[in-house]
Structure 1
Amino acid sequence: MPDDLWRDDIVTWSEQQSDRLRRLRAGERVNDLDWDHIIEEIESLGRREIEAVRSLLVQAVLHLMKLHAWPGHPAARKWRVDAADFLIQAQDGYRPSMARSLDLAGAVGYARRRLPVQRFTTPAQDLPPLGAIPLAALADPAFTLEDLEAALFPPA
């Protein structure tokens, strides 16, 4: 099967492949399945789910960092609300099988690298060294934004 459809119109390609897989499951002899790309797409599904959770967690951490870097900013209340929402969404998308692939330390590092690009009229306050995100932040729905904040910004 030519790669063109997979590259140019993934929606049509996926519809065709799923139809062929259903026909194969029903016992029909189907010879034109695009096995290489089917395998690749199945593998990428998990990676995309992990990346979505990581991205939401990065957003939660970044918003907490902004709260600590600019504590008196007029948007501080919104940052806290948004951070809580990002954490809840990350928890909702999290699956225990992600634990072995989700780089929590890397998420904190990435959020930290993004903080300097935030531009406000007042300079940022220095942040202390950050703690780690515990896996409970995602695995335990009772884990709150306040718990995440305490983990990231432990008392000195």
Structure 2
Amino acid sequence: MTQATQRLLYETDYVQWIETTVERLRNGDYDSVDWENLLDEIEDMARSQRRSLKSNLIVVLLHLLKWQYQSEKRSGCWESSLLEHRHRLQDDIQDSPSLKPYLETILAESYIRATKQAKAETGLPLQTFPSECPYDVASILDDDFLPN
């Protein structure tokens, strides 16, 4: 299979492209590897991990805000969601420790998104929520932390 055929395979049968690429790499047939698409896929994997981390962080922040500012509506569902998304964050960081500093760099931006979503879900004015994130990373990741 030529490199041109391999690139076409990438567009027409992704799974077969992966299997063929892995086989070529294992066999040391580096000249036949579709390097351009392989490098793109590897870069996409890192972006995907960061997007997942950010998404889970926003959900945790959203539920912490709702827990703190809409205490009359607290539910086991919110607490369960907090645990689930905290565990996802913890698992991601355990699998890729380099994501922890990234989590800290996206905290402020993620918090802003979470406050906008909290406003939409609670009906509370945006000004109800602090303008800066009141939770540190350790609290965000702590299964037992629930704000008053």
Contact (CA 8 Å) 1:105, 1:132: kept in 2 or not? no
Residue in 1 aligned with 2:112? 109
**C-alpha separation in 2, matches of 1:127 and 1:65:** 8
Residues paired across the two proteins, number: 138
SS of 2:18's equivalent in the other structure is helix
The percent identity for this pair of structures is 22
Contact (CA 8 Å) 1:59, 1:86: kept in 2 or not? yes
Q: With structure 1 as the length reference, what TM-score do the two structures score?
A: 0.71
Correspondence 1:48-127 to 2 at 5 A:
48-73=48-73, 76-94=75-93, 95-102=96-103, 103-118=106-121, 123-124=123-124, 126-127=128-129
**C-alpha separation in 2, matches of 1:117 and 1:21:** 49
Contact (CA 8 Å) 1:57, 1:107: kept in 2 or not? yes
Residue in 1 aligned with 2:143? 144
**C-alpha separation in 2, matches of 1:47 and 1:69:** 33
Aligned AA for 1:81?
Answer: S
For the structure 1 residues 117 and 15, does the alpha-carbon distance in structure 2 shift closer, same or farther, using more than 3 Å as the test?
farther
Contact (CA 8 Å) 2:92, 2:99: kept in 1 or not? no
Where relative contact order (Cα < 8 A, 6+ residues apart) is larger, the structure is 2
For the structure 1 residues 124 and 16, does the alpha-carbon distance in structure 2 shift closer, same or farther, using more than 3 Å as the test?
same
**What is the root-mean-square deviation in Å for CA atoms of aligned residues?**
2.7
Q: CA deviation at 1:30?
A: 4.9
Q: CA deviation at 1:55?
A: 1.4
Question: Which of 120, 130, 133 is 1:131 aligned to?
Answer: 133
